Structure 1
Amino acid sequence: MSAPADPPALLPRPAELAHHDGAEPELTPATEIAADAASAGTAAWLRAELGAATGWPLPPHTAAAVPGDAPPVIRLAVDGTAGLGPEGYLLRVDGRDAHITGHDPAGVFYGAQTLRQLLPASAYRRAPSAGPAWRLPRVEVRDRPRFGWRGCMLDVARHFLPKREVLRFIDLLALHKLNVLHLHLSDDQGWRLEIRRYPRLTEVGAWRRESQVGAGAAATFDGRPHGGYYTQDDIREIVAYAAARHITVVPEIDVPGHSQAAIAAYPWLGESGELEVGREWGIIEHVLNVDDATLDFYRDVFDEVIELFPGEYVCVGGDECPKTQWRASPAARRRMREEGLADEEELQSWFVRQLDAHLTARGRRLLGWDEILQGGLAPGATVLSWQDTSGGVAAARAGHDVVMCPTATSYLDYRQSESDEEPIPVGTLLTVADVYAAEPVPAELAAHEAAHVLGAQVNVWTEHMDSPRTVDYMVFPRLSAFAEVAWSHGERDYARFRPRLDAHLTRLDALGVEYRPMDGPRPWQRRPGVPGRPRS
Structure 2
Amino acid sequence: MRFSHSVTLVLLAGLLPLKIFAQQNFDLIPKPSSLTLAVGSYQIPAFPKVYVSEEFINASQLLTEHPAITSITTEIVKKIKKAPKEGIRILKAEETDKLDKAAYRIGITDKGIVILAHEVAPAINAIYTLVQLGYLQDNPAQINAVDIEDQPSFSYRGLHLDPSRHFIPFPIMKKFVDVMALYKLNNLHWHLTDGAGWRLEIKKYPELTNKAAWRTHVKWKDWWNNGRQYVDAGTPNASGGFYTQDQARELVAYAAQRGINVIPEVEMPGHSEEVLAIYPELSCSGKPYTQSEFCVGNEKTYEFLKNVLDEVIAIFPSPYIHIGGDEADKKHWKTCPKCQALKAKEGLKSEEELQSYLIKQMDEYVQSKGRKIIGWDEILEGGLTKGATVMSWRGESGGINSANAGHDVIMTPGSHLYFDSYQTDPRTQPETIGGYLPISKVYEYNPIPAAIQQDKIKHVLGAQANLWAEYMPNYQQLEYMAFPRTLALAEVVWTKADLKNWPNFHKRLQSHYKILQHFDINYYRPSYNVKASVDFDAKKASNTVTLTTEQLHADNIRFTIDGSKPTYQATPYNNSFDLSVPTIVKAAYFLDSTQVGPIETIQLDVHKAIGKAVSYTNKWDDGYPAQKELTLTNGVKGGLTYQDGQWQGFLKDLDVVVDFERREEINSVAMNFMQITGPGVYMPGEFKVLLSENGRTFREVGIVQNDVSDQDPTLTFKRFELKLAKPQQARFVRVVATNPKKGFLFADELIVY
Structure 1 length-normalised TM:
0.88
Q: Which amino acid aligns with 2:449?
A: P
Deviation at 1:446, TM superposition (A): 1.7
Q: Distance in 1 between the 2:336 and 2:227 partners?
A: 32
Residue 496 of structure 1 is matched in structure 2 by 504
Going from structure 1 to structure 2, the CA distance change for 1:177 and 1:221 (only over 3 Å counts) comes to same
Deviation at 1:286, TM superposition (A): 2.2
Residue from 278, 289, 292 that aligns with 1:286: 292
Residue 395 of structure 1 is matched in structure 2 by 402
Q: Which amino acid aligns with 1:88?
A: A
Does the alignment pair 1:304 with 2:311?
yes
Residue from 182, 185, 201 that aligns with 1:178: 185
Deviation at 1:94, TM superposition (A): 0.7
Deviation at 1:138, TM superposition (A): 1.0
Deviation at 1:192, TM superposition (A): 0.8
Q: Distance in 2 between the 1:406 and 1:181 partners?
A: 17
Residue 78 of structure 1 is matched in structure 2 by 92
Going from structure 1 to structure 2, the CA distance change for 1:271 and 1:476 (only over 3 Å counts) comes to same
Residue 126 of structure 1 is matched in structure 2 by none
Structure number with the higher helix fraction is 1
Q: Distance in 1 between the 2:442 and 2:400 partners?
A: 20
Does the alignment pair 1:59 with 2:73?
yes
Residue 480 of structure 1 is matched in structure 2 by 487
Deviation at 1:297, TM superposition (A): 1.0
1:256 touches 1:348 (CA, 8 Å); kept in 2?
yes
Deviation at 1:139, TM superposition (A): 0.7
1:118 touches 1:137 (CA, 8 Å); kept in 2?
no
Q: Which amino acid aligns with 1:186?
A: T
Deviations 1:337-368 (A, max 9, x none): 11111010110001101101111111111110
Residue from 405, 410, 422 that aligns with 2:417: 410
Does the alignment pair 1:116 with 2:131?
yes
Q: Which amino acid aligns with 1:83?
A: K
Residue 367 of structure 2 is matched in structure 1 by 360
Structure 1: where are the runs of 5+ without partners? 64-69, 123-130, 277-283, 524-528
Q: How does 1:296-335 map to 2 (within 5 A)?
A: 296-335=303-342
Going from structure 1 to structure 2, the CA distance change for 1:9 and 1:301 (only over 3 Å counts) comes to same
Deviation at 1:490, TM superposition (A): 3.0
Q: How does 1:446-465 map to 2 (within 5 A)?
A: 446-465=453-472
1:212 touches 1:221 (CA, 8 Å); kept in 2?
no
* SS in structure 2 of the partner of residue 427 of structure 1: coil
Deviation at 1:220, TM superposition (A): 11
Q: Distance in 2 between the 1:515 and 1:58 partners?
A: 32
Going from structure 1 to structure 2, the CA distance change for 1:374 and 1:215 (only over 3 Å counts) comes to farther
Q: Distance in 2 between the 1:461 and 1:241 partners?
A: 23
* SS in structure 1 of the partner of residue 110 of structure 2: coil
Residue 66 of structure 1 is matched in structure 2 by none
Going from structure 1 to structure 2, the CA distance change for 1:30 and 1:415 (only over 3 Å counts) comes to closer
* SS in structure 2 of the partner of residue 46 of structure 1: helix
Going from structure 1 to structure 2, the CA distance change for 1:316 and 1:29 (only over 3 Å counts) comes to closer
Task: List 4+ stretches of structure 1 deviating above 4 A.
Answer: 4-7, 211-224, 532-536
Residue 43 of structure 2 is matched in structure 1 by 26
* SS in structure 2 of the partner of residue 268 of structure 1: helix
Larger Rg: 2
Residue 275 of structure 1 is matched in structure 2 by 288
Deviation at 1:41, TM superposition (A): 1.6
Going from structure 1 to structure 2, the CA distance change for 1:444 and 1:476 (only over 3 Å counts) comes to same
1:182 touches 1:250 (CA, 8 Å); kept in 2?
yes
1:146 touches 1:489 (CA, 8 Å); kept in 2?
yes
Deviation at 1:196, TM superposition (A): 1.3
1:9 touches 1:117 (CA, 8 Å); kept in 2?
no
Does the alignment pair 1:39 with 2:56?
yes
2:352 touches 2:381 (CA, 8 Å); kept in 1?
yes
Deviation at 1:155, TM superposition (A): 0.9
Going from structure 1 to structure 2, the CA distance change for 1:217 and 1:292 (only over 3 Å counts) comes to closer
2:265 touches 2:323 (CA, 8 Å); kept in 1?
yes
* SS in structure 2 of the partner of residue 303 of structure 1: helix
Does the alignment pair 1:107 with 2:122?
yes
Q: Which amino acid aligns with 2:93?
A: D
Q: Distance in 1 between the 2:501 and 2:109 partners?
A: 30
Residue from 423, 429, 450 that aligns with 2:436: 429
* SS in structure 1 of the partner of residue 41 of structure 2: coil
Q: How does 1:247-286 map to 2 (within 5 A)?
A: 247-275=260-288, 285-286=291-292
1:152 touches 1:458 (CA, 8 Å); kept in 2?
yes
Q: Distance in 2 between the 1:61 and 1:351 partners?
A: 53
Going from structure 1 to structure 2, the CA distance change for 1:402 and 1:167 (only over 3 Å counts) comes to same
1:408 touches 1:430 (CA, 8 Å); kept in 2?
yes
Deviation at 1:378, TM superposition (A): 2.5
Q: Distance in 2 between the 1:478 and 1:510 partners?
A: 17
Aligned residues: 505
1:78 touches 1:105 (CA, 8 Å); kept in 2?
no
Q: Distance in 2 between the 1:304 and 1:76 partners?
A: 37
2:26 touches 2:136 (CA, 8 Å); kept in 1?
no
Q: Distance in 2 between the 1:428 and 1:135 partners?
A: 44
Deviations 1:27-67 (A, max 9, x none): 234633222211112221212x23xx44744433699xxxx
Residue from 237, 243, 246 that aligns with 2:256: 243
Structure 1 range deviating more: 77-86 or 475-484: 77-86
Q: Distance in 1 between the 2:222 and 2:34 partners?
A: 46
**TM-align CA RMSD:** 2.8
Deviation at 1:531, TM superposition (A): 3.8
Structure 1 range deviating more: 159-168 or 10-19: 159-168
Deviations 1:250-277 (A, max 9, x none): 111010000011112211111244436x
Going from structure 1 to structure 2, the CA distance change for 1:268 and 1:30 (only over 3 Å counts) comes to closer
Going from structure 1 to structure 2, the CA distance change for 1:342 and 1:196 (only over 3 Å counts) comes to same
Residue 145 of structure 2 is matched in structure 1 by 138
Deviations 1:275-312 (A, max 9, x none): 36xxxxxxx95211021111111011111111111121
Residue 90 of structure 1 is matched in structure 2 by 105
Residue from 378, 382, 393 that aligns with 2:385: 378
Deviations 1:143-186 (A, max 9, x none): 00000000111111111112111111111110110110111110
Residue 729 of structure 2 is matched in structure 1 by none
Going from structure 1 to structure 2, the CA distance change for 1:9 and 1:220 (only over 3 Å counts) comes to farther
Residue 161 of structure 1 is matched in structure 2 by 168
2:153 touches 2:493 (CA, 8 Å); kept in 1?
yes
1:19 touches 1:138 (CA, 8 Å); kept in 2?
yes
The structure whose RCO (Cα within 8 Å, separation 6+) is larger is 1
* SS in structure 1 of the partner of residue 451 of structure 2: coil
Does the alignment pair 1:511 with 2:519?
yes
Going from structure 1 to structure 2, the CA distance change for 1:361 and 1:213 (only over 3 Å counts) comes to closer
Q: How does 1:174-253 map to 2 (within 5 A)?
A: 174-212=181-219, 224-253=237-266
* SS in structure 1 of the partner of residue 379 of structure 2: helix
Structure 2 length-normalised TM:
0.64
Q: Distance in 2 between the 1:138 and 1:153 partners?
A: 37
Going from structure 1 to structure 2, the CA distance change for 1:423 and 1:452 (only over 3 Å counts) comes to same
Structure number with the higher strand fraction is 2
1:173 touches 1:179 (CA, 8 Å); kept in 2?
yes
1:312 touches 1:365 (CA, 8 Å); kept in 2?
yes
* SS in structure 1 of the partner of residue 43 of structure 2: coil
Q: Distance in 2 between the 1:136 and 1:219 partners?
A: 57
Residue 631 of structure 2 is matched in structure 1 by none
Going from structure 1 to structure 2, the CA distance change for 1:56 and 1:186 (only over 3 Å counts) comes to closer
Q: Distance in 1 between the 2:167 and 2:712 partners?
A: 21
